[in-house]
Amino acid sequence: MLWILFAGKGQKFTVMTILDKKKEPLWTGELELKENTAGFRPHKIRILKREGKELSDEEYIQSKEFINLLKKANRIMIATGCSAAQENELKSMLSAYQLKYEYVNICRFCLLQKRFNFINKSSIRYHKEMICPECAKDELKKVLKNSRQNMGDSTVDFFYETLLRTKDFDKTASLLSADRLDPEVTRYDTIRSAGSEKQFPVKKLRIHNRLKNLLLAKSDQLLPVQSMAVDAGLLDGKNLMVVSATATGKTLIGEIAGIENILSDKGKMLYLVPLVALANQKYDQFKKRYSEIGLSVSIRIGAELIKTKSTSDMKKSLDSDIIVGTYEGVDHILRLGNADSLGQVGTVVIDEVHMLTDSDRGHRLDGLIARLRYLFPETQFIYLSATVAGPEYFAEKLDSELVVYEHRPVPIERHLVFARDDEKIRLMAQLVKDEFNMKSSKGHRGQTIIFTNSRANCHTIAASLHAFGINSAYYHAGLNLAERKTIEHKFARGEISAIVTTAALAAGVDFPASQVIFESMAMGIEWLTVSDFLQMSGRAGRPDYHDRGIVVLMPVPGKSYSSGATGTEEEVAIALLKGGLLEEEFDYDEEEQLEELLASVSVTTSRSDLSKIQKSMFGDISENIMLIKLQKYKFIELGKEVKQTRLGQIASAYFLSVSKTYMIVDSINAGISPLHIITNLDFFTAASFKYAEQISKDLRMNLPSRVFQGAFMDIIFDGENLKDVSPKYQKLLLNFAADMFVCSCQESPYCGCAERKFSEKIILLRTKGLEPIEIIRKLEDDYGITAYAGDIFSYLEDAIRNLEAMELIAKNMNKNDVAKNAKELRLKIQG
């Protein structure tokens, strides 16, 4: 099939002969017409390009040969855009030979490259004209290159995909500047809600009326995933593994099973969560909800170790109908050998069960579940998660029926916005304002959660948003319980437009947000995993509040957080949006294997039962080898039965590693005081200098805010530098140096003495009755050093645990004076 195309080119015409619709013409030439007595006729036809190659020598074809070619053509086309005079000349020539023609729209950029392509439905708008996708892609490649942003291949591919989706070059290129937030351009995809699905009527549930009335007060029907759980045997005592997105109603599944089993006299409910913040919230919710039907609720978390005004009214006993606890809080009871104190347990709910795959805490949850299953074989176990790779494997391993609900009750729009660091605040402020100005059909304003990678960023972003007139708040584990609850209540009442928090709390607190913004793609200096990302993005859009959820990722092209991290932030963002969950591996190191095996010896002395517990775990434990090692460390005695030694009991109950256990033993033998021992075990390093910014200005250098970083200590020990600091801050620095850095160590100030003395200072202030927030005020007054109350709280909790372990170890060693001193110090810290 032969086509011939004419297009205007100055006073001449470009001619293309196209064979079999190919975009690369057989040849491209230049036609000059000349008028004679008969009209316009071909005068010169010069070939410029043949079979894709530019010709260096002049090559012409005869007019007669060209006319014969025209007569053979199956299709003669005139490209729109010729001048009227040119068009008349060309039509005159074609009419003289009785040749039919048609007008066509072709890509101007292709024409300039001596290529051929039609303008059609797939074409791309480029400024005020349409061009073909191939040319638009070439132009976009130039723009991306000129942007000087270090983009990876996956990012470039994303831009190409956006170009083809929007069919608008200018809108796609605008993603680079982010001067405007066009949702049609930034939208990556939309995860749609499900259509009509089965919803079980609450009235038909075979449950006690007290529970039924509570459910009816909220809704006449169960949500789809709840209905699926009922069909899977929720009310028949079956173990269930429920995998469903956030806000689909998973929590209530566990509650229905637990409360019904309580009312049926099958035993209490243990509701276990990974975070203290989430345990506090669940405790408050359950206490309010189930006290109406006469049920008691208690909490088992680290907070019961320290008596403060905010925790004094929490019920912590084990005789309640419902016990909300952190994983470690309940595991501590088992490791003490006090499983019987839990009494009859009818239901165990493991919330956020995907924490099994956590690199730091996964082995402990794995061991805890295995021990609970061993101790309570007749108990109903409900496992809840929004994201699990290979859920079939998890369900089989946990001996549970699998319930997977793949849809959300509200759709989520996911957007990708490339931004520079210096423009993120402005963009986030605009997104927060726009969302807060919208009301859902349920009458709720849009509120935003902003995830960032550090506590310092939480404060900076929240303060910057305030400057834009936005009522925002920072929220992280460094805050004390009272501070966190205040923020939670304000957010629930719609008084706060945006919460800025760390990725570490993604699985935690239930903020009913309609929008989630990822200011960073990292958690600390490590990239987010797909599992983390899905958990966090799942916070957007709640069925009782919103009609849809919005998720916005704001990567900085080329940015990374550590030299060891592979990929750049925008590549990670795209991978998170595209990524499916990877199958998890459970590979425990020797320390983790020793810990879990020793902990399991806390609940059984039987070799066969011990093997049974280990085999039910996800991670493999080299049982025989680890038992021999535990015997070597004098943590167990091996015989027909496996028995913990007293030292092993203490190490297990207080989560002590082998090295920490023997550090305590050696320190006691060396006559070191309990205060020195616990501060040598763990330093408090989360302190920062409150006036670091002001001192940096005085010194004309960037001073790190963290107190025990090398650069900060160099300043203190450099008299030349100190004289440039204003007297107010100079005095604070000198006070700190005098109290903390006076020692005879050759490595001073890098010997660790300063960290130990500072840790002692915190503990001694606590022994005088100061609460964490009061300790911070004292440190600020004396040294200009500040910290988060939550960090002080956690450090004191660890100190109490270590002192209690030390007291028991000292008694076991017949060092009664040390035991007495450790107990006295522990009680003073507890308050």
CATH of region 677-830, choose from 2.60.40, 1.20.140, 2.60.460, 1.10.3380: 1.10.3380
Q: Distance from CA of residue 59 to its chain's centroid?
A: 65
Q: Residue range 738-761: average pLDDT? A: 82
pLDDT of residue 303: 44
Least confident of 261-265, 577-581, 622-626: 577-581
What pLDDT, on a 0 to 100 scale, did the predictor assign at position 302? Answer: 57
Q: Looking at residue 721, what is its pLDDT?
A: 67
For the segment(s) 202-405, the CATH number from 3.40.190.10, 3.40.640.10, 3.40.605.10, 3.40.50.300 is: 3.40.50.300
pLDDT value of position 455: 87
Q: Of 63-67, 417-421, 505-509, which gets the smallest average pLDDT?
A: 505-509
Compute the average pLDDT of residues 8-32: 91
Same fold, 202-405 and 412-578: yes
In the chain, the percentage of residues whose pLDDT exceeds 70 is 93
What are residue 474's DSSP bridge partners? 500
Tell me which residue of 248, 210, 251, 254 sits closest to 235, measured CA to CA: 254
Rounded CA-CA distance 808/607 in Å is 27
Residue 779 — pLDDT band, cuts 50, 70, 90?
very high
Q: What is the pLDDT of residues 664-720, one digit of tens each?
A: 999 999 999 999 999 999 999 888 888 888 877 887 777 667 787 766 666 666 666
Residue tagged 């004209």 (tokens): 129
Give the model confidence (pLDDT) of 605-618 as tens digits: 999 999 999 999 99
For the whole prediction, is pTM greater than 0.95? no
With bands split at pLDDT 50, 70 and 90, how would you rate the model's confidence at 180?
Answer: low
Query: Nearest 5°: CA angle at 220, between 215 and 226?
Result: 65
**Mean per-residue pLDDT, 216-245:** 93
Neighbours of 238 (CB within 10 A): 16
What is the distance between the alpha carbons of residues 117 and 108, in angstroms, rounded to a whole number?
Answer: 9
Say if residues 109 and 131 touch (Cβ distance below 8 Å): yes
Q: Where are the domains of the chain?
A: 2-112, 131-177, 202-405, 412-578, 590-655, 677-830
pLDDT interval class at 41 (50, 70, 90): very high
pLDDT of residue 365: 96
pLDDT in tens, 128-168: 999 999 999 999 999 888 877 777 777 888 888 889 988 99
CB 614 within 8 A of CB 370: yes
Q: Which percentage of the chain shows pLDDT scores above 90?
A: 57
706/712 Cα distance (integer angstroms): 7
What's 590-655's CATH class?
Answer: mainly alpha
Alpha helices in 405-563 (DSSP H): 424-436, 455-467, 481-492, 530-537
Range with the lowest mean pLDDT among 70-79, 326-335, 583-592? 583-592
Q: In this predicted structure, what is the pLDDT of residue 767? A: 94
- pLDDT at residue 275 tops 90: no
Tens of pLDDT, residue by residue over 322-353, are 999 999 999 999 999 999 999 999 999 999 99
Going by DSSP bridges, is the β-strand pair 124-126/129-131 parallel, antiparallel, or unpaired? antiparallel
Q: Does domain 412-578 have CATH number 3.40.50.300?
A: yes
Residue 735 exposure: Cα atoms within 13 Å on the Cβ side: 15
> Rounded mean pLDDT of the chain?
88
Mean pLDDT of 46-50: 92
Predicted pLDDT at 151: 75
CA distance 530 to 736: 44
* DSSP β-ladder status, 636-638 and 642-644: antiparallel
Of 266-270, 379-383, 447-451, 565-569, the least confident:
565-569
